[in-house]
Chains A and B, each alone.
Chain A
Amino acid sequence: MEKSGLNLKATELRLGLPGSESPERGSDKNGNAAVILSLKSFVGSGAKRVFCDATDADAKWVFSVSEAAAGRLFSPRGGGSSNNNNNNHGKVHVGSDSGLGGPVLEDGNGACVAAQSPKPVMMVQDKKSHEIAPSKAQVVGWPPIRSYRKNTMSSQSSKNDDDSEAKLGLGCLYVKVSMDGAPYLRKVDLKTYSSYIDLSSALEKMFSCFTIGQCSSHNVPSRDGLSESRLMDLLHGSEYVLTYEDKDGDWMLVGDVPWEMFTDSCRRLRIMKSSDAIGLAPRAMEKCKNRN
C-alpha cells in the first residue's frame, strides 16, 4: 500500500531504555516489528519510563477509506487472508477482526494505519496526515453531528487532558488502558470489576484484535486458550503482559497483589509485550516463564 502522503515516522511508536536513542527497527521476517515508543520525543529524565505522555501520544488513528481499496476493505471476513499474510503492506483488517472497528491497514512495520488512497478521498488525509500530534485525526463528517453541536459540546466539556491520574469520584475509578501497538487507548472503571479474571476478560474484549497472553499469579488462561477464540492474531508469536503503574509511579506486573490492594493503587494499565517488560519484578517474570 502506498506510503506516500503518510508520515510514518510520526506515527511510529518506539520503545527504548530511558534516555537512549531508539534503534531503527525494521520488520522481522514475520512483518513482526515491535511497535515501540520513542522516549526521545517525550521525557528524558530519570530511571522510570514515563508513559503518561506516551499514552497521549502522537500515534493518533488516521482513518480513511480509499475507493480503490474499498472493495478489499469491505471484502468478506475470511480470516484466511489476514492470518497468512504478515509481511505485506496491504493487509486489511475488516472491522470484526481488527477490533479497531474500521478498515485498517497494516504497513510493513506493523503499525496500524489507515488505507491511503492515491487520491485524497477524505480531507483528513490532506490535512491530518502530517499533523498527527495535536489534533485527533478523524474521518471528515463522522460521526454525523452538526457543527453547531460539535462546537457547543467541545466548549462545554471540562475535559482534563492532564489525566495521567485515575479519575475518582462518583463511585467510579477510571484508569487508562493502553496496549502496545494499538493506536488508541481505552478507559476502564476498575470499580466495575471484582477480580483479575473479570478485568482481564473485559480487556480481552476491548483489545480483541490482539491476543493477550497474561502472566499472573491468578492463573489467567494461557495463550493456548485464547487462540481458539475469534481473536485476530496480528503480531504472531508475541506475548503480552498486563502491567500497571502504581501510586508511586512504579510499573508493576498485574496480579501480584490482592485485588483490592491493586484497585487502590493502580493509576494506569498497560498491556505490554513481555519481551519489553524489563525492569519489572524478575520474580514475576520468572513465574511467567516457568508457566510457559
Chain B
Amino acid sequence: MESESKRKKESPNTAELAVTASFPDEVLEIVLSLLTSHRDRSSVSLVCKDWYRAERWSRTQVFIGNCYSVSPEILTRRFPNIRSVTLKGKPRFSDFNLVPPNWGADIHAWLVAFAAKYPFLEELRLKRMAVSDESLEFLASNFPNFKLLSLLSCDGFSTDGLAAIATHCKNLTELDIQENGIEDSSGSWLSCFPESFTSLEVLNFANLTSEVNTDALERLVSRCKSLKVLKVNKSISLEQLQRLLVRAPQLEELGTGSFLQDLTARPYADLESAFNNCKNIHTLSGLWEAVPLYLPALYNSCANLTFLNLSYTALQSGEFAKLVVHCPRLRRLWILDTVEDKGLEAVGSNCPLLEELRVFPADPFDEEIIHGVTEEGFVAVSFGCRRLHYVLYFCRQMTNAAVATIVQNCPNFTHFRLCIMTPGLPDYLTNEPMDEAFGAVVKTCSKLQRLSVSGLLTDLTFEYIGKYAKNLETLSVAFAGRSDRGMQCVLEGCPKLRKLEIRDCPFGNEALLSGLEKYESMRSLWMSACNVTMNACRRLAKQMPRLNVEVMKEDGSDDSQADKVYIYRTVAGPRRDAPPSVLTL
C-alpha cells in the first residue's frame, strides 16, 4: 500500500513533465480539433487548465441547447474561433402554442456579437428562435464567408429576409427552411440568387407556399453542379419537377412539389425516366396531394431509398402498400395515419431495415373519428422491423399488451414517443391504466433516451420510469399521474435526465421542490397547468441562484398559481428581454 501511494505521489510530477514535454499546446490543439462531439469537448475542457485552453482555441463549432443558458458575451469570450453555431431557443411546447408570443429567443443580439467576434462565421442553425427580416439582412451583409443557414420552427421573418440572403451570400452552400412561421409574401426571393452564384448544395424551401419563378429555379439548379439536396414547394408541378430532375441527376435528397397533375402518357414517361436517371436519391419527401396514379414513376427510385417522408401525403393503405413494396432498404419512414393498420402491416412485411417510424395523424382535431392507426399496426411493424429504435406514433387507442409485445420485438428503442390522442384514455380492452405499457418500455429498453407518455397513467408509470429508465434524457408528460410522488420518482430516479416537460398533471409544490438540486444538472423543466404556486417558485428561485425560474402569467388567472413555469440553468443570470407576461423570479 505504501509503495502504491508513493508511486501515486511521484506520478503527478512525472506526468506533468511528460505533458509539458511531449504535448505542446499546438499539438494538443490539433488533436483536439479532431474532436467534433460537443459533449466530448466539454469533458476535455474539464481535464486541466491547459486542456481547457487548448480546447477553447480549437473549437470551431458550438451547440447551445438553450439560448438563455449562456450569453453572447460569455460565449465569444470563451471561444474565439467559432465558425458554426447551433442555437435552440423557445421551450418545445411553443410549437404547440403554449408559449406566449414575444417570449424571446431573438437571434439579433447574438448576430451583433458574432459580427464583432466571429466575422468569419460560416454556419448558423436555429431552432425555435425569433428571427426577423432585419436579422436576416444583417446576417447577409456582415458575414462574407457565410455558407449555411438552417431555420427550423422559427418565426418572425418573411420571404424578404430570404431575398436578402439570396442576394448577398455569395458563398452560400445551404439554405434550409423548415416548418417555420414564415410570412410568405412572394416567391421572388429565389430570383435574387445572382447568375454568377453556383455554390449551392442544399436548397429546401418546401415550407413556403408562394410560387417561385420556375425559370430562375431551373437556371439555378442547372448551374449549381454540386446541388445534392433539393426540396421544392407545393407550387412546383410534376412537369416542372421533371425539368428540374433532368438538370440535376446527381441529387441525393429530393422533395417533390405537388404530385397532382393531369399528365398524359408522354410527360408521364418523361417523369419516370427522369426519376430513373437520378440514381443517387436516398431521401424522398414532399409528394403533396399525391395522386396514386403517378406514384409508379417513383418505383425505381425507391429501391435505394433510405428515408421516405410521406407525412404530408394522404395515401390510403392499398396505394401505400403498393409503394412500400419497392422500398426494401428503408431506414426511416414518416407517414400519415391514412395508411391505417394495413399500411403498417405492409411496412412490417417489406422494410426489415427500418429504424425509425413516425406516424402522424391526418385529422387530429376531428371529432368524427375516422380510422387512423391502432395498436395493431404498431405491433405489425414491430414483428417485421426488429431494428426499430425510434418511433413517434399518434393513435386513438392502445393496449398494454400491445406495447409489451412491441418492445419485446424491438428492445432497442432509444426514442419512444407514443401519443394516444385522447387524454387520459385507458387500455381500451382491459380499461386499465397504461402504466404497464410504459413499464414494459422502460424495463425492456435499457438504451431509452427519450420518452413521451400518454393515456391514462397513475403514479406507477413514473415509479417504473424512475426505477428503470437510467439512460433517459428527455421525458414528456401530459394528463398523467396522480400525485407529487409521480414526478418525484422521476427526479430521484433518472440520473441522466436533461429535459422534463409536463403539462396538465396533478404535480405540485412538493414535487417541484424535490428536484431542487437536480435542476442544475438538467437543461430545463417545463410545468404548465399543474398545481404549482408562485410561492414555491419564489422559494426555488431564491435557493438556486444559478437557475432562472420564469413564470408565464395568463390574463385573469389566479395570482397565487404559477400557470406556466419554465426553469433552466444558466450562467448568464436572469434575462433582460422577457416580455411583461413573463416573470423572472
The interface stretch among A33-41, A43-51, A83-91, A182-190 is A182-190
Within the complex, the shortest CB–CB distance from B585 to chain A, in Å, comes to 19
Q: Is A152 an interface residue (CB 8 A)?
A: yes
- Interface readout for A126-162 with B: 1 if CB under 8 Å, 0 if not? 1000000000101111111111111011001100000
Q: Is B514 an interface residue (CB 8 A)?
A: no
| CB closest chain-A residue, reference B367 | A184
A59–B268 alpha-carbon span in the complex (Å) = 48
Contacts of B369 in A (CB 8 A): 186-187
Among A74, A76, A150, A174, which residue has its beta carbon within 8 angstroms of that of B424?
Answer: A74
B316 engages A170 (CB within 8 Å):
yes
Among B368, B554, B555, which residue has its beta carbon within 8 angstroms of that of A185?
Answer: B368
B558 engages A119 (CB within 8 Å):
yes
- Interface readout for A158-185 with B: 1 if CB under 8 Å, 0 if not? 0000000000001000101000000011
B456 engages A96 (CB within 8 Å):
yes
Q: Is A258 an interface residue (CB 8 A)?
A: no
Q: Is A281 an interface residue (CB 8 A)?
A: no
Among A71, A77, A174, which residue has its beta carbon within 8 angstroms of that of B506?
Answer: A71
A148–B505 alpha-carbon span in the complex (Å) = 26
B95 engages A156 (CB within 8 Å):
no
Within the complex, the shortest CB–CB distance from A25 to chain B, in Å, comes to 25
Among B363, B505, B558, which residue has its beta carbon within 8 angstroms of that of A157?
Answer: B363
Q: Is B270 an interface residue (CB 8 A)?
A: no
Q: Is A19 an interface residue (CB 8 A)?
A: no
Contacts of B314 in A (CB 8 A): 156-157
Q: Is A65 an interface residue (CB 8 A)?
A: yes
B367 engages A96 (CB within 8 Å):
no
Q: Is B211 an interface residue (CB 8 A)?
A: no
| CB closest chain-B residue, reference A139 | B423
Contacts of A147 in B (CB 8 A): 95-97, 181
The interface stretch among B47-55, B321-329, B477-485 is B477-485
Given contacts A102-B423, A102-B425, A120-B554, contact A153 B180 (CB under 8 A): no
Within the complex, the shortest CB–CB distance from B313 to chain A, in Å, comes to 9
A148 engages B181 (CB within 8 Å):
yes
Within the complex, the shortest CB–CB distance from B396 to chain A, in Å, comes to 8
Within the complex, the shortest CB–CB distance from B419 to chain A, in Å, comes to 6
A146 engages B95 (CB within 8 Å):
yes
B506 engages A74 (CB within 8 Å):
yes
Within the complex, the shortest CB–CB distance from B509 to chain A, in Å, comes to 12
B181 engages A65 (CB within 8 Å):
no
Contacts of A185 in B (CB 8 A): 367-368
Q: Is A101 an interface residue (CB 8 A)?
A: yes
Contacts of B288 in A (CB 8 A): 156
Within the complex, the shortest CB–CB distance from A85 to chain B, in Å, comes to 20
Within the complex, the shortest CB–CB distance from A216 to chain B, in Å, comes to 25
| CB closest chain-A residue, reference B397 | A101
A143 engages B426 (CB within 8 Å):
no
Q: Is A118 an interface residue (CB 8 A)?
A: yes
B96 engages A145 (CB within 8 Å):
yes
A123 engages B554 (CB within 8 Å):
yes
A150–B394 alpha-carbon span in the complex (Å) = 14
A143–B431 alpha-carbon span in the complex (Å) = 21
Contacts of A31 in B (CB 8 A): none
- Interface readout for B324-362 with A: 1 if CB under 8 Å, 0 if not? 000000000000000000000000000000000000111
Residue among A76, A95, A144, A152 having the largest count of chain B Cβ atoms under 10 Å:
A144
B530 engages A94 (CB within 8 Å):
no
Q: Is B3 an interface residue (CB 8 A)?
A: no
A145 engages B361 (CB within 8 Å):
yes
Q: Is A226 an interface residue (CB 8 A)?
A: no
B482 engages A75 (CB within 8 Å):
yes
Contacts of A186 in B (CB 8 A): 368-369
A-side interface mostly: loop
A157–B361 alpha-carbon span in the complex (Å) = 12
Chain A interface residue count: which class? Answer: 35 or more
A184 engages B368 (CB within 8 Å):
yes
Within the complex, the shortest CB–CB distance from A205 to chain B, in Å, comes to 8
Within the complex, the shortest CB–CB distance from B452 to chain A, in Å, comes to 8
A173–B383 alpha-carbon span in the complex (Å) = 31
Among A74, A119, A140, A143, which residue has its beta carbon within 8 angstroms of that of B361?
Answer: A143
Within the complex, the shortest CB–CB distance from B153 to chain A, in Å, comes to 7
A141 engages B96 (CB within 8 Å):
yes
Within the complex, the shortest CB–CB distance from A137 to chain B, in Å, comes to 9
A100–B425 alpha-carbon span in the complex (Å) = 8
Contacts of A118 in B (CB 8 A): 558
Among B96, B394, B481, which residue has its beta carbon within 8 angstroms of that of A74?
Answer: B481
Q: Is A60 an interface residue (CB 8 A)?
A: yes
Q: Is B188 an interface residue (CB 8 A)?
A: no
Among B316, B367, B554, which residue has its beta carbon within 8 angstroms of that of A61?
Answer: B367
Contacts of B503 in A (CB 8 A): 141
Q: Is A121 an interface residue (CB 8 A)?
A: yes
A185–B369 alpha-carbon span in the complex (Å) = 8
A141–B91 alpha-carbon span in the complex (Å) = 13
Given contacts A143-B419, A147-B95, A176-B368, contact A126 B556 (CB under 8 A): yes
Contacts of A197 in B (CB 8 A): none
| CB closest chain-B residue, reference A67 | B531
Q: Is B98 an interface residue (CB 8 A)?
A: yes
Contacts of B93 in A (CB 8 A): 141, 144
Contacts of A63 in B (CB 8 A): 423
- Interface readout for B364-377 with A: 1 if CB under 8 Å, 0 if not? 11111111000000
A176–B530 alpha-carbon span in the complex (Å) = 37
A187–B316 alpha-carbon span in the complex (Å) = 17
Contacts of B432 in A (CB 8 A): 96
| CB closest chain-B residue, reference A136 | B365
A152 engages B424 (CB within 8 Å):
no
Within the complex, the shortest CB–CB distance from A54 to chain B, in Å, comes to 14
| CB closest chain-B residue, reference A95 | B424
| CB closest chain-A residue, reference B180 | A148
Q: Is B207 an interface residue (CB 8 A)?
A: yes
A70 engages B426 (CB within 8 Å):
no
Q: Is B522 an interface residue (CB 8 A)?
A: no
Contacts of B458 in A (CB 8 A): 74, 76
B367 engages A136 (CB within 8 Å):
yes
B422 engages A101 (CB within 8 Å):
yes
Q: Is B29 an interface residue (CB 8 A)?
A: no
Q: Is B561 an interface residue (CB 8 A)?
A: yes
Q: Is B216 an interface residue (CB 8 A)?
A: no
B96 engages A148 (CB within 8 Å):
no
Within the complex, the shortest CB–CB distance from A289 to chain B, in Å, comes to 33
Q: Is B504 an interface residue (CB 8 A)?
A: yes
Within the complex, the shortest CB–CB distance from A194 to chain B, in Å, comes to 18
A138 engages B179 (CB within 8 Å):
no
| CB closest chain-B residue, reference A178 | B368
Among B360, B558, B561, which residue has its beta carbon within 8 angstroms of that of A149?
Answer: B360
| CB closest chain-A residue, reference B97 | A141
Among B97, B366, B456, which residue has its beta carbon within 8 angstroms of that of A94?
Answer: B456
Contacts of A143 in B (CB 8 A): 361, 364, 394, 419, 421
What are 6 A-to-B residue pairs whose CB atoms are below 8 Å? Answer: A61-B367, A77-B426, A95-B456, A96-B432, A143-B361, A146-B96
Beyond A65-B423, A71-B482, A142-B96, 19 additional pairs, beta carbon < 8 A: A65-B479, A71-B483, A74-B458, A74-B480, A95-B456, A96-B426, A101-B424, A102-B479, A121-B563, A126-B555, A126-B556, A143-B361, A143-B364, A143-B394, A145-B364, A147-B95, A147-B97, A148-B180, A184-B368
Rank and list the top 6 A-B pairs by shortest CB-CB distance, nearest first: A101-B422, A141-B96, A95-B424, A96-B426, A184-B367, A148-B179
